[in-house]
Each structure stands twice: as structure tokens, then as C-alpha cells.
Structure 1
């Protein structure tokens, strides 16, 4: 059974697995510990991860990045228009969701954000399976803390389409906190001890999140979380690109905004420049033949970079201030400030946060891998395969959720809305809602404060219809109970419904102890015959009588849509595998031609006549000409048949060579056997000689012994 944790980031994804000796971050097919979060489309197959990265510039219009930013979003959301600045593929509307339009297999295709994530999760599954040498099903994924119900459902659907069972969808900083706390042995344990408070500051490629977490032995509780959705490494990169765009336009008379590929090359160079300036005072930038055959060069000092970043640096402490305010804490209440995320390496950003707290920051966690490790720990806790130290995780509700319903005609003064889950409530959480009704009814769940949601996401969460409701025999209300639950993923569902009836039952009334009575006294004997009559009272209690059928409409895909998407994903995966296998056979044919051509003049030379050599060379030459002409785009079966054709021509020569090798091997084996037999005979002869020598020496020793012993006479007895 697999135990996999995945930090699904907007730039890169890190995969960790739990093993008996702990948690390991695994590498992909090119031995990198982080896999680019990219999906590309080509004329024959898809490119996912590293394959998409290698052809990103040449296939810029068909490569999709920032997958996490597309989950569960509507095309009209203002945030989506911002994302188009960072995603090179054109964004379009697909069935009400945001998606992309790309050229795949020579045709225009549209894919939703959910489908794109499912494609990427298929790659994650392949990487983990290759490392673990077994099928991967169970996984824990991380997501930004600001995700809404619709976005979380989108990731859940994508995992289902990819054939993964999502055990838990964790907020990024919560996963980091779990990885931090589960290994600590010095956490407060007593009920009167003050909990350890840690501020986790996570600044990645596109998100800035701060969570205040309290730790006690065996548990963590998130007290508050605040986010800035548009603060991260890509914003610093964009500031640099805009700077050099103006500089190159002035110096070299070229405008990179007119050429998407040129702008992308400058973006890649600026990302490297930013990293260099994190450790150096200045750095150059050089790009050959950027556009119009013009070479460009530039130079930047760290002070200039910080000046460009100043608008962002002015916002550097806003999420921290908000998180502290929501947790009702002060700076001095925080014991440790733990920094994670690649962007926290920027010196000016670290200084801004350190100056705000007035104390050194902590970097004890791996900034790039902490979330993935926390997810792997969570998966191990939820999996029956591992025994892990008990550790409870209490996350919180980030947006208040309310239920609304139509007013009952029989209850004219009834309220029609109720905030059921308030911001800061513990997650997971269950609430029981009670309704008095005589007929079926509907209720809707929505976010109570839409202005707090990211962008202008629709605050609607779901609509739930309660069936089977009717008045009782006395035309009284049916008492309906609905179980609303925010689960481990942060997703809201009305899980079940049932109705109850009020019945009168008698309960004993506890009597107060009489004055003067001591513990251990015999029972009271005031009642006749010494019997005591306990007092009772009638009370009304609710008893469950039956279930109420429910119908739900949410942002999740229905089962038929998921099945269709899974079938399409499987067919595309099979197409990718066929293309990869075909490419392998093509490479095998090419390698075999070169190998045979060399060997016919070397190893196989003495085993082939001149006529056979000429025939083999001619076959190799014709096959090579075919390979680089008509065979450039052949099928897997054709490449296999071409290999077999060459083997048929070269087979007799190769067989003679192999026969000689076999004869030589047999001769060597025979020689070794003869040597071993000779050694065994020599050893046996040596043992025999030693035995005979020992036997010959035994009588001689006995004679010497007899000669050496003196005779002893017994004394005569005197009478």
C-alpha cells in the first residue's frame, strides 16, 4: 500500500513517500527532487513535467502552467485575467469553468482546469509508482489555504479522474506545521503549560501565507491563517522583466512585448538573475539572439533590484499582521518564526519580516520540501500500514458559511438564514440543523461574507433537497434533523437527514442527601415495610424514527462526467505510452544499425565472408536511409519489423560469433573443472600421506614408552 504526500505548487511539485525509516523526497525520471507543474500538448502526445519544461519555449502556446490557480475558477473571475499574464496558453471558457484551448494531435482541443490537474496527477502517480515499485492509490495533497469549497472539490475530482484516492487535502502551512511538530519531543505536555506558538511564513511562487499554530504534545491547533494571493516569486520576476523590457527597448531598439518567446526567454533569465542576486551584490544578464538576431546584455545591482521590489516589500508584513490580529495575539506571544518557501531566500524580504518581529528568523525546515514531508506524515497517520506517533491536527474554517432556506408557510416569523460555521471554527466539524416542516424543503449553503473570497468567486456552495417530509397523523410538524459536516478536505456536505418524534419518558429524580446521614449508613427506613419509593418525573425526549432522503447539487462533477473524463484521460495516457514505446523502438533500430556496422569490421570480421559483410553493410545503409526519410514517423510495429529484417541478414554471422564465444566459455569452464579436480586430488593425497605418517609413528612411540618406565618391586611383609 502506498503512502505518498504531494506538495502541488504553482511552479514545481514535490513528492514525498513514507518508509519504515522515515519520510523521503523522491526524484523524477531525470533525478530532480522537484517536478515542473506543467502540461504541454504536441502533435503526437502530451508533455508533462520535465518533458513539458524542455520544450516550453518552442511550444509556448500549447504549454499550461500555474495549474493550481485554475482550479474551480470561473472564466469571468478577475483573478483569471491576471493569470493570463503568466500562462502562455490562451484561457477560454469550458462548460462555465476556466480552461485552455490548445493544439493536440493536430486539432484544436479545449480542456478544463480540472482535466489539466488530472493529467498532472497521472504523472505524479507514475513517478511515485516507479520509485516504490508498486501501484500508487492513496495520497495526501496540499493546496493554498485560501481555496474555497469549489476549488477543493475541483482538486478532489481531478484526483478521482487520475485514479487516486485523496485521503486528505491539507492547507500548505498546516502540512508544514505537521512536519515541524511531529518530530519534536520537547513540546509542552501538561494541561497548565503554555502551548508553543509558531508563526509559519510560507512565500512561494505565487502565494504568501502566514499561519499562527499552537503546539502541545501530540497535537497542533491552527489559530489563524492570512494570505496574499498575488505575492510571490513570479511577481518579483515580472518586476525585473518590465525593467529590462524598457532597457532593451531603449538600448537595442527591440520590444520583447511584441514577441512572446522573447519575453519568455527574458523571464527565464530574470529568474536566474534574481537567485544570483540573493547571494551576490551584482550580476549580469546576457541573452544571445533574443529577437531580430539582436544580442542583449544588461547589469543589475542588488540595490536596484530592491528598489524595483519596493511596492511588494511594502506589503511584506500585511499577512502577518492580519494573522496575529485574527489570533488575538501580539508579536511577543510568538515563540518562533519559521520560514518556508523558495521566495524567503530573498534578503530584503527576510530583513523586512525580521525587522517586524524584532528577532532572528528560523530556517530549520527545508524551504522547498517541508510541505511535501508534512503531507507524507499525514498520509502515514491515515494509513493502516504504518504505526506513527499519535498527532492530532486541528485546522480552522477560513470563511464563514451560512445556510439559507425558504420560509415555511406554517411558521410566518421563521428566520431564513443561519451562519453554521464561523471563521476560526475547528476543522473537521459537524453541526446538527433542526427544522420543523410538513412538506419537503430545500436549503442552500453559501459563504456568509463574499467580500472575503479570492477574486469574485461565486459564494454559492451547494443546494440540498430534503425529501420524504410530511405532517404526522395529528397534522403536527415533522422534526427534521440534518447533519452538516465540514470534512478533512475543508469541503461542506449535508451528509444525512432523519426525523425524530418527541415521546414522554419517566426519569428518576435524584434526592438530595438527608441531614445527619453519613456515607455508609444503611438505606432509609421511613417507608412502610422498609421499602424506598424513588421519585420520578416525566420528560420529553426525541427518538429517531427514520431517515430522510437527500439530493445534493454542488460544484463537484457528477459521476458520469467523472467517468467520461477518466476514460479520456486513460486513452490519452495510453497514447502517450504508445508514442514513448515507438520512440524507444526507433532509437533501438538506430542504435542497432550503428552497433552492427562497427562490429562487422571488428568482432564479427573473422566469422563473415566478404559477400556476407557487403550484404550486411548494404542492409544497414538502406535501413538508415529509410529511417531518416520515410521512417521518420513510422509506427512501433514497423520499427520492430525493420530490426527483425536486419537480424535475419546478420543472424548467421552473429550466431557463429556466439558459438565461438560459447565454445570458449565451455573451454574455460572445463579448464576450471580440471584445475579444481587436480586440487582435490592433491589435497586427498596430502591427507592420505599425513594419515599414513601418523599411523607409522604410533608403535614406535609405544615401545619408547615401555622402555622408559622403571620396574617397581612391592615391599615384603614382615611377620
Structure 2
């Protein structure tokens, strides 16, 4: 950003805000007066459920939506982020659909959410639902900041750790971010607490606390059926009540070894009383817990860094409170003490607020010399003959970057080509995400292989 731009922003009193748009909860922070403030919502909570509900009279977002989920399960949407970029027939999507009380339909291969709003059937994309939550977070910021001009940014949060610790020298850190629905690992180097350089990223866009909850739900549905010969999966309200209680029990097990599950009149007047021990929870979810280590290994491998060179392992996301996950990670790093110094629910919004301030020209002493060097999380390329993905920019390439590749025609006198831009690591473009396409016409007549078509990808500091 130029000096002129920075001055203009400062004169307009723009306030930079960072938002963590989470799968299960979202959070917003603002950087002002040299520090980050996490902004509470209208209920006084510093995190807001990523829930959207539709009733006969209104649309509810956040706490109000989650509070009425048991009485309105078919029209209360959550976990929408788990559908973004997915195809309807993917196995993980089909498994989620089995666990959700709301309806997901197949629209030309893409999943869409169908609800009843004001006695009318409406269909939304998962991106539209996420946008509604985003608008709610923006409103929370505006209510706190008043009429000031606000600029938003959404980014990961290594900055939350680096600036708080006043680091000296060069440190290698690993961010282990396990939230409600997604899992991300980043390996970074921090030089003198000012240069933040992302070395590699990895993760699983379909792994988090919701998956642990669903394991518990399946187990206790079976228990209820064995005891009472009743199938809870046929009653969406009963299923939602049970899941809410299991989620609470899971949270209790982060600090206790046993939790009680007590639900009056769960189904057909039958009360349900049971217990969940930490040992049973770990047994049911051990496969999922262990799977978190594979992205850690991949990120270290891509960063060309031995785990012994990692100075700090930073825990982010509510699911990192689970003791067994902490134990597995600590054992992987040969007993290294894990860093729990930052609030796992607020770290991403905290770091995003700092990055927003940097991007929009805040010259406060604390951040004026901070530089974040990020990387491309997924390879970018185009489709070539046979539907093959030809990668142009490889994953973990440093941002900004510019890469060009030469292509040619497949047929004699071919008048044009279709350029399909995709992201992903699979060999075939059908298995990757299509970002967009366009027609390049007007190629002069020539034998196949003669025309030269240069495709140039240019990604700037804001991933545009």
C-alpha cells in the first residue's frame, strides 16, 4: 500500500476489523489504539453461533437462531460452511445430510439448502447462508464502533501469538487450528516478531467438533434404541435435543472425567438418563483424533522442516481443548509443551484484526514494521485435453506470485479454446474446484500445435 493511500485512509478515520467466520461459531475483533478488542454481540457473548433460522415471521441469526433450534429444527441452518465448494454426491456431504435435520437438495450436482420461510419454500446456497452470518458479524462491529467507516479482512491468525509475545530472533511455529467443522495447520517462521512468513499449510475441510458430536450421537441413538426399541433418527426434534446435550457433555469432559446426560421426555414420553466418560469419548473418536496428525506431518514435510525445529505449537479453535488431542499432539512433538496462551475461540479474529490494520495502513508503533508473507493453499491450474488438471501455480507458492505457461491447440484450424480455471490437488479437474471459465476466440487458422497460447496467473497480496 502506498504512502498516499495510507494517508487517505487515516484521514477518513477508517477502522480495520477482522472476522473469523467459523463453521460453528464466529468472532469479530477491532484493532484500535494499539491493541485488539474482541467485540461482544447483543447478548454479551464474545462468539456468535454460525446459525441462521427461518420462521413464519422472521429470519434469526446467531444466538437467537440457535436458541430455538430444538423447536424449529427443519428451518434452522448450521454447519453451512461444510458444504462450500463441495459436490452433492461426495461421501462426506452425504454423511452430513444424514445428521442434519434441515433439507439439502441436489441442484445440478451442487448442494443447496431448502427451508420454509414465511410459509414459502426457499432455496439457498451455503455461500448465501454464510453471507447472512457475515452480515450479522458486520452489524455487531458497526453497533460497537458507531458510524465510523469500517474495512474488513478475513485471514488466519499467527499474528495473535507473535505480537503478544514481543519475540526476538527467528522462531518457527506451528498453528494447530481445530474448530467446529474444519481443521487447518500452518507452519510459519517469525523473525524479530515482525516478519511473519508462512512456509506451508495443510488441513481437512471436513474435520472438527461436529464430527466428534456425530460419533457420540450415533452411539447414544443405538443405546436408546436397545433400551426402548425406539428409533431417535426418525424424530428430528428428539435428535436435536440429544445432540445439544451431547455437545455440552463433550465440553464438560475437557475438564472432568465424566459427564451426566439427563433429558426428560426425549421421545414418546421416555426419559433418557446416561453417562459419558472421557475414556468412552476417546474410544469413540480415536480414529478422528489420530487423523489430525496427518496434516501436521504434511505441513512439516511441505515446509521442509523437521519437527525438532518447531519452537512453539500454538493451539487454536475450541476443539483443541480436548485433552486426548493435546496428548497426541504433545507426544508427536516428543513431549514439547503446547502453547495455550491465546484464547482458542478468539485467536483468528484477533489476528485478523491486526492484519486488517496492516492492510489498511494503520501506522501504530506496534504494527508499522510487521510484514506477513502468505502462501497459496491450493494449486491453481487449467483444464487440458482429457479433463486433466495442468497446474500453473503449485500449492504453498509464496504470495504475491506470477507464473506463465505456454499451451497450444489440439485440432487443425481450431478457432478458439475454453479456459477453465480450477484449484485443487487431484489429477482430473472434475475432482477439483472450478473457479471460473471463459472462451478465448479468434485464433488464426493453423495446424494443430502451431498457435502459442500464453496463460498467465497473477496472485497479489490479497489473493486476487
With the shorter chain as reference, the TM-score category is 0.7 to 0.9
Structure 1 residue 255, shift from structure 2 partner: 2.8
Structure 1 residue 302, shift from structure 2 partner: 2.0
Structure 1 residue 253, shift from structure 2 partner: 3.9
Structure 1 residue 241, shift from structure 2 partner: 1.9
* 1:209 paired to 2:184: yes
Identify which of 367, 373, 384 aligns with 2:344.
Answer: 367
Partner residue in 1 for 2:400 = 428
Partner residue in 1 for 2:271 = 295
Structure 1 residue 52, shift from structure 2 partner: 0.7
Structure 1 residue 341, shift from structure 2 partner: 1.1
Identify which of 396, 399, 417 aligns with 2:375.
Answer: 396
**Cα distance between partner residues in 2 of 1:295 and 1:25:** 41
Partner residue in 2 for 1:33 = 46
Q: Is the 8 A contact 1:72 1:114 kept in 2?
A: no
Q: Is the 8 A contact 1:71 1:114 kept in 2?
A: yes
| Greater RCO (CA < 8 Å, at least 6 residues apart) | 2
Is the partner of 1:450 in helix, strand or coil?
coil
Q: Is the 8 A contact 1:74 1:457 kept in 2?
A: no
**Cα distance between partner residues in 2 of 1:231 and 1:2:** 34
Partner residue in 1 for 2:260 = 284
Residue 98 to residue 331, structure 1, CA distance change in 2 (3 Å): same
**Cα distance between partner residues in 2 of 1:182 and 1:425:** 25
Structure 1 residue 119, shift from structure 2 partner: 2.0
**Cα distance between partner residues in 2 of 1:241 and 1:277:** 16
User: Of Structure 1 and Structure 2, which has the larger fraction of its residues in strand?
Assistant: 2
Higher Rg of the two aligned structures: 1
Is the partner of 1:226 in helix, strand or coil?
strand
Identify which of 360, 376, 390 aligns with 2:353.
Answer: 376
Partner residue in 2 for 1:101 = 114
**Cα distance between partner residues in 2 of 1:488 and 1:68:** 24
Structure 1 residue 105, shift from structure 2 partner: 1.1
Q: Is the 8 A contact 1:6 1:139 kept in 2?
A: yes
* 1:199 paired to 2:174: yes
* 1:450 paired to 2:416: no
* 1:485 paired to 2:461: no
**Cα distance between partner residues in 1 of 2:221 and 2:207:** 21
Partner residue in 2 for 1:539 = none
Is the partner of 1:254 in helix, strand or coil?
coil
> Aligned residue pairs: how many?
437
Written as runs of structure 1 = structure 2, the 5 A alignment for 1:533-682 is none
Structure 2: tracts of 5 or more residues without a match:
1-13
Residue 176 to residue 292, structure 1, CA distance change in 2 (3 Å): same
Partner residue in 2 for 1:717 = none
* 1:462 paired to 2:436: yes
Q: Is the 8 A contact 2:82 2:205 kept in 1?
A: no
Q: C-alpha deviations, 1:373-411, integer Å up to 9, x for none? A: 1111111111145543222222222333334568xxxxx
Structure 1 residue 448, shift from structure 2 partner: 7.0
**Cα distance between partner residues in 1 of 2:342 and 2:28:** 16
Q: Is the 8 A contact 2:373 2:398 kept in 1?
A: yes
Q: Is the 8 A contact 2:21 2:134 kept in 1?
A: no
Partner residue in 1 for 2:76 = 63
Q: Is the 8 A contact 1:203 1:340 kept in 2?
A: yes
**Cα distance between partner residues in 2 of 1:484 and 1:322:** 26
Residue 466 to residue 230, structure 1, CA distance change in 2 (3 Å): closer
Identify which of 288, 291, 307 aligns with 1:331.
Answer: 307
Q: C-alpha deviations, 1:292-319, integer Å up to 9, x for none? A: 1111111232222222222223324222
Q: Is the 8 A contact 1:73 1:457 kept in 2?
A: no
User: Of Structure 1 and Structure 2, which has the larger fraction of its residues in helix?
Assistant: 1
Residue 433 to residue 290, structure 1, CA distance change in 2 (3 Å): same
Q: Is the 8 A contact 2:380 2:394 kept in 1?
A: yes
Partner residue in 2 for 1:260 = 236
Residue 480 to residue 81, structure 1, CA distance change in 2 (3 Å): closer
Structure 1 residue 61, shift from structure 2 partner: 0.3
Q: C-alpha deviations, 1:618-640, integer Å up to 9, x for none? A: xxxxxxxxxxxxxxxxxxxxxxx
Q: Is the 8 A contact 1:77 1:457 kept in 2?
A: no
Written as runs of structure 1 = structure 2, the 5 A alignment for 1:465-544 is 465-466=439-440, 483-488=456-461, 490=463
Q: Is the 8 A contact 2:424 2:432 kept in 1?
A: no
Structure 1 residue 130, shift from structure 2 partner: 0.7
Residue 464 to residue 216, structure 1, CA distance change in 2 (3 Å): farther
Per mean C-alpha deviation after superposition, the further-off stretch among 99-108 and 209-218 is 209-218
Is the partner of 1:287 in helix, strand or coil?
strand
* 1:185 paired to 2:157: no
**Cα distance between partner residues in 2 of 1:89 and 1:369:** 29
**Cα distance between partner residues in 1 of 2:345 and 2:427:** 32
Partner residue in 1 for 2:92 = 79
Partner residue in 2 for 1:615 = none
**Cα distance between partner residues in 2 of 1:439 and 1:84:** 45
Q: Is the 8 A contact 2:382 2:390 kept in 1?
A: yes
Q: Is the 8 A contact 1:447 1:460 kept in 2?
A: yes
Partner residue in 1 for 2:9 = none
RMSD: 2.9
Residue 401 to residue 245, structure 1, CA distance change in 2 (3 Å): same
Is the partner of 1:318 in helix, strand or coil?
helix
Structure 1 residue 478, shift from structure 2 partner: 9.6
